[in-house]
Structure 1
Amino acid sequence: MNLTFYKYQGTGNDFILADNRNGNYSQLTVEQIKKLCDRRFGIGADGMMLLGEQEGYDFEMLYFNADGNEGSMCGNGGRCIVRFANDIGIKKNEYHFIAADGPHEATIDGETVSLKMKDVEGIRRYKTDSVLNTGSPHYVQLDTDVMHLDVFKEGQKIRYNKDFAEEGINVNFVQVKNEDSLIVRTYERGVENETYSCGTGVTAAALVFHHNDNGFNAVDIETIGGNLNVRYNREIDGSFNNIWLKGPAIRVFEGAINIADND
């Protein structure tokens, strides 16, 4: 099989994308996707996405983790696939697409893409930390010096804790710079390592460390790979809606690769 692919990144969170509207790549196996995402033996990426057709939407987003398995929602991936859709000729002022966690809206302005995330019913306390689902499950822990933390070691401990090991969880370590600004580092399940950025993770961090009891919030977030912004409304019952993740989505390169049937 010959695969025409496109490489995109959103604040260093990088993805392989392919146009699957004709269904040519629907038979890709777990092992093939895993090999494509391998940084030594393949193209190299945190995940892979197939853009497909879905009635009633501009496109469908099918996301795979770097381990080859189909994943849940990816925020930076969602922003990158919107930019990809625009680049391959799906020109819109506002996009409506379907992903693993349901429908999404998005807007594009050059290299900046704003993505509307799913509503969040609330935040669950876990010991002194927080757990919530922003399209993917996230654990959020406060740290006073996040840039000197061993994120791989500490994140792995939580991800494989007996309470989370079976389904897995993404682990975010958050330093509060001020009421409007955070630094976030994330260990991602499926990648099983720290990534340069995680869209659903920074969204989770912003919701946990909201600075208004109710109403509109806007938070700037630093990651290793760059800066993102999350804005949202918090309701009196502790739920969150109108959540938007904004940041760069950049095309890096494109190419073609032959995938052996026995991979």
Structure 2
Amino acid sequence: MKINFFKYQGAGNDFILIDHTMSPLKNFDNNLIEQLCHRRFGIGADGLMFVTKHEDYDFEMHYFNADGKLGSMCGNGGRCIVAFAKHLGIIDKETNFLAVDGPHYARISENGDWVDLQMIDVDTITNDGDAFVLNTGSPHYVAFQSDLKDFDVFTNGKNIRYNSTYTEKGINVNFVEDNGDHLFVRTYERGVEDETYACGTGVTAVAMAMAKYKNQIGHINTDIKVLGGDIKIEFDYNGHKFTNVFLCGPAKLVFEGDVA
């Protein structure tokens, strides 16, 4: 049986997308998903998503990590699935859809390659030593790091992700360098078990952690550079809670194909 798929990327965070709106989503074999995401023996991607119908929303997002397992919220994946829904004609300029962490609103550019995705509100940030820990739809660890361009993100991120504190559920590990007019961020992602070119929930967590660290209050806009390009984060922060959170960035179709 051939599977029709679309490949999208959001700031280098790449995904396989499959339209399942015309049929119910059955249990997909985790080994098959892992194989499709494999960069040597499959299509190659950081994750795979299905679009299905939902009676109360424009569509529902089902996200699987590259290891084939059902994942938590993926921000860049959310932006890419919005672009895909526009491509399919499900939505036009804005949408309300359902993901694993609840409802999301998004707006999309006329040409369909830039998406502003509203993320969940956040009211809890804890510390692990000098690092920050918070959940933006997925759990994140945020640590300051100088000379980040030359830093070994894979080894250090893996060590934190698998240390005794986080082994059971895992955590995504973000390293941030403050360059004044922008933040430079690199992320080790659980489920991919490697550094990715971008992580949407990760850069959202970083922007929030930096606002808390700097005691910034009000409406905050943050420019972030990742290995795959530029992303913008905006939110309101009253010193206790982050609201009206938007993850803004590119979401582009790479190619379409069929796989046996």
| TM-score bracket for this pair, using the shorter chain length | over 0.9
For residue 242 of structure 1, what is the aligned residue in structure 2? 244
1:53 aligns to what SS in structure 2? strand
Residue 213 of structure 1 is matched in structure 2 by: 216
Q: Which amino acid in 2 is paired with 1:69?
A: K
Q: Match for 2:8: what amino acid?
A: Y
Structure 2 spans left out of the alignment, 5+ residues = none
1:67 is matched with which residue? 67
Percent of residue pairs identical: 52
For residues 91-170 of structure 1, the aligned pairs below 5 Å read 91-109=91-109, 110=111, 111-170=113-172
8 Å Cα contact 2:173-2:188 kept in structure 1 = yes
Q: Using structure 2 for the length normalisation, give the TM-score.
A: 0.96
- Aligned residue for 2:203, secondary structure, equals helix
Q: CA deviation at 1:127?
A: 1.0
Indicate the SS of the match to 2:202.
Answer: helix
Q: What is the Cα deviation at residue 24 of structure 1?
A: 6.0
CA shift, 1:161, in A, is 0.6
Structure-2 residue corresponding to 1:261: none
- Measure how far apart 1:90 and its partner are: 1.4
Show structure 1 runs of 5+ residues with no match.
Answer: 259-263
CA distance in 2, matches of 1:94, 1:29: 32
Aligned partner (choices 214, 225, 228) of residue 222 of structure 1? 225
Aligned length: 256
Q: Is the 2:25–2:52 Cα contact (8 Å) retained in structure 1?
A: no
SS state of the match for residue 209, structure 1? helix
Q: Which amino acid aligns with 1:5?
A: F
1:29-44 matches, within 5 Å, as 29-44=29-44
Q: Deviations over 1:42-75 (max 9, x none)?
A: 0000000000011110000000000000000000
Give the counterpart letter for 1:235 in structure 2: N
Task: Indicate yes or no: 2:159 matched with 1:191.
Answer: no
**What amino acid maps onto 2:166 in structure 1?**
F
Aligned mates of 2:24, 2:136 — CA distance in 1? 31
TM-score by length of 1: 0.95
Instruction: State how far apart, in whole Å, the 2-side matches of 1:255 and 1:57 are.
Output: 28
Deviation string, structure 1 residues 101-124 (Cα, Å, up to 9, x no partner): 000000001311000000001210
Q: Which stretches of structure 1, 4 residues or more, deviate above 6 A after TM superposition?
A: none
Q: Is the 8 A contact 1:122 1:240 kept in 2?
A: no
Give the distance between the partners of 1:36 and 1:27, measured in 2 at CA: 16
Contact 2:24 2:52 in 1 (8 A): no
Q: CA deviation at 1:88?
A: 0.8
